């Protein structure tokens, strides 16, 4: 083999090894890759992936961190700029990951939701959950605590077989 062909073989081989891994994340949402975002946004709750809301939602939410659901989550001006850049570049209306596309489609063009839990797609997917699963479950309490039930959420994965309801076990339809 000449070197050019060897290089092609190497590239195709690598692509084949990586492809299944890419497939996994492409079915969910893109995992968080930004260290600043991870640090600033995981202090009070799980660091929600930018792919869970459209860019206009992140812009609005991040520009109002001084009054963030009743808490002060303010960051420095420079950090704010970096957070907006990262979140909007990876938002649901930009990402090609399956869950991001579906969430985005479920939001009206004139709506700017600040909660993932208020988007049509996420509400619809959880319509079968009862009080005993969420509100009345001391280990969950609110649907906003995605990580309580989605055991592989840090990989951006929401597969049904990975769901465990704390204290109640696997989710069976
Ligand atoms: C000081 C604590 C604190 C920090 C820091 C913080 N948050 Fe929050 N966040 C909250 C609280 C409290 C809620 C409301 C939780 C609830 O209602 O259950 C919330 C809710 C949210 C929600 C809505 C979740 C839903 O219900 O769908 C998003 C999105 C969010 N935060 C994003 C962020 C981002 C992005 C950052 C980083 C810039 C951040 N938060 C940092 C306290 C914080
Ligand atoms: C109390 C447990 C619980 C919490 C908390 C929870 N979920 Fe879920 N989620 C489920 C269950 C159960 C299903 C599967 C419903 C079904 O299809 O039967 C599901 C389904 C989903 C799906 C669809 C997966 C698929 O393959 O169809 C997505 C996406 C999702 N959840 C995202 C989230 C996000 C984002 C949050 C936080 C804002 C969250 N969930 C909070 C239990 C939970």
- Give the pTM: 0.89
Rounded mean pLDDT, 139-153: 96
Q: Which of 119, 111, 104, 115 is nearest to 29 (CA)?
A: 104
Which pLDDT band, with edges at 50, 70 and 90, does 169 fall under? confident
- What is the C-alpha separation between 30 and 24, in angstroms, rounded? 10
The pLDDT tens digits of the residues spanning 18-69 come to: 444 454 448 899 999 999 999 999 999 999 999 999 999 999 999 999 999 9
Minimum CA distance residue for ligand 1 atom 35: 41
Is residue 45 within 6 Å of ligand 1 at its C-beta? yes
The pLDDT tens digits of the residues spanning 120-130 come to: 999 999 999 99
The pLDDT tens digits of the residues spanning 55-101 come to: 999 999 999 999 999 999 999 999 999 999 999 999 999 999 999 99
Contact between 59 and 84 (Cβ < 8 Å): yes
Extract long-range pairs of 127-134: CB within 8 Å, 24+ residues apart.
Answer: 128/173, 132/168, 133/165, 133/168
Distances 111 to 20, 115, 119 between C-alpha atoms, Å: 35, 11, 10
- What is the C-alpha separation between 29 and 96, in angstroms, rounded? 9
Assess whether pLDDT exceeds 80 at residue 16.
Answer: no
How far does residue 158's CA lie from ligand 2's centre (Å)? 7
Ligand 2 surroundings by CB, under 6 angstroms: 52, 99, 116-117, 122, 125-126, 128-129, 133-134, 140, 143-146, 148-150, 158-160, 163, 165, 171, 173
How far does residue 117's CA lie from ligand 2's centre (Å)? 10
Q: Quick one: pLDDT at residue 8?
A: 59
Minimum CA distance residue for ligand 2 atom 9: 126
The pLDDT tens digits of the residues spanning 88-100 come to: 999 999 999 999 9
């Amino acid at each position: 083999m000449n070197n050019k062909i060897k290089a092609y073989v190497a590239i195709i081989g690598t692509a084949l090894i990586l492809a299944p891994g890419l497939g996994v994340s492409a079915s969910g949402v893109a995992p968080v890759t930004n260290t600043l975002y991870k640090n600033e946004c995981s202090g009070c709750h799980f660091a929600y992936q930018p792919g869970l809301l459209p860019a206009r939602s992140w812009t609005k939410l991040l520009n109002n961190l001084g009054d963030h659901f009743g808490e002060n989550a303010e960051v420095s001006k420079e950090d704010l700029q970096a957070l907006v850049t990262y979140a909007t570049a990876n938002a649901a209306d930009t990402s090609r990951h399956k869950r991001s596309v579906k969430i985005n489609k479920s939001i009206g063009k004139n709506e700017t939701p600040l909660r993932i839990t208020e988007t049509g797609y996420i509400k619809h997917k959880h319509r079968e959950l009862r009080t005993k699963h969420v509100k009345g479950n001391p280990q969950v309490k609110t649907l906003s605590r995605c990580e309580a039930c989605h055991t592989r959420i840090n990989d951006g994965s929401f597969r049904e077989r990975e769901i465990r309801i704390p204290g109640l076990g696997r989710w069976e339809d």
